[in-house]
Amino acid sequence: MTERRPQRSGERLPPGTSCYLCGKTITEDETWNRDHVPPQRIFASALRTQFNPQLEWLYTHVSCNGDYQKDEDYFVVSFAGHVQQPTAQAVFQDLKAAAEKGHSIGLIKDAIGRFGRVEGPNGELVHTWDRARVHRFLWKIARGFYTLETDRLLPERPLGHIRILPANQEPEHLADIGWFPAVRDTEPMGTYGKVFDYKWLGWKDGELRAHAFTMLFWDGLLVVLLFHDPLCRCGQCGPVESAPKRN
């Protein structure tokens, strides 16, 4: 991994800066903003006020960043209420407060309605979600960390597999992920307490370059990703894209 460059605030966009989401240069006539990695949305408002987490960020087109907003909201609404940990419940309280003001009511009703509709093989109630939307959002986070660490870009199309493991399902479902123990035993890379943490292990095997990546949301929702690096020559990965510039 490369050493991260310090990020300074300011309104002037460095010439030649690229959007990390689309890979295209942000021109002078285009509106731009910064996307936090990890997303600020997963932090409850009370925690942001108390701890002021210093989130890293990447430049984006406003349109590219906004294109993910609904998926981000969908993820938070769908999972915060199902993680029985204080950091998740604090986010859920934010959602309830927003609903009382008339915000996100449709999303909240949808999330509540989906819980308990499906019965599992042992008669348990199953929490269901829109897999495509959730995976798109999770892959975006992985792309952000990849760019921060390597100064390269990952394409919007996932280059591997993504799985979500709620806390009450972890033991039995982790058993069939052979690479998980190797990643589990590495040092955590996150600095956000019980709100968000991640671990990352990369390796090379012949023509293959790959990454095993885990994310832990609210100390209770585990996401595991196994994906190719665009530098590998396995025949399944696209060309390396130019990195965005950050000041």
* Three-state secondary structure call for residue 90: helix
Segment 53-68, tens digit of pLDDT: 889 999 999 999 999 9
Q: What's the pLDDT at 64?
A: 96
Quote the number of domains for the chain. 1
The answer as to whether 16 is a domain residue is no
- Can you list the positions of beta strands (E) in the chain? 32-37, 56-61, 118-119, 125-126, 160-166, 196-205, 208-217, 221-228
Q: What's the pLDDT at 149?
A: 93
Domain that holds residue 217: 32-228
Does pLDDT of 215 surpass 90? yes
The answer as to whether 23 is a domain residue is no
Cβ 30 vs Cβ 61: under 8 Å:
yes
Residue 24: how many other CB atoms lie within 10 Å: 14
The answer as to whether 12 is a domain residue is no
Q: What's the pLDDT at 170?
A: 58
Q: What's the pLDDT at 82?
A: 81
The answer as to whether 22 is a domain residue is no
The pLDDT confidence band at residue 204, using thresholds 50, 70 and 90, is confident
Give me the percent of the chain exceeding a pLDDT of 90: 47
The answer as to whether 240 is a domain residue is no
Give me the percent of the chain exceeding a pLDDT of 70: 78
The answer as to whether 18 is a domain residue is no
R_g of the chain, CA atoms, integer Å: 19
Segment 119-153, tens digit of pLDDT: 445 555 556 788 899 999 999 999 999 999 999 99
Does pLDDT of 95 surpass 80? yes
Does pLDDT of 46 surpass 80? yes
The answer as to whether 13 is a domain residue is no
Q: How far is 232 from 235, CA to CA, in rounded Å?
A: 8
pTM: 0.84
**Please, what is the average pLDDT of the chain?**
82
Q: What's the pLDDT at 126?
A: 58
The answer as to whether 4 is a domain residue is no
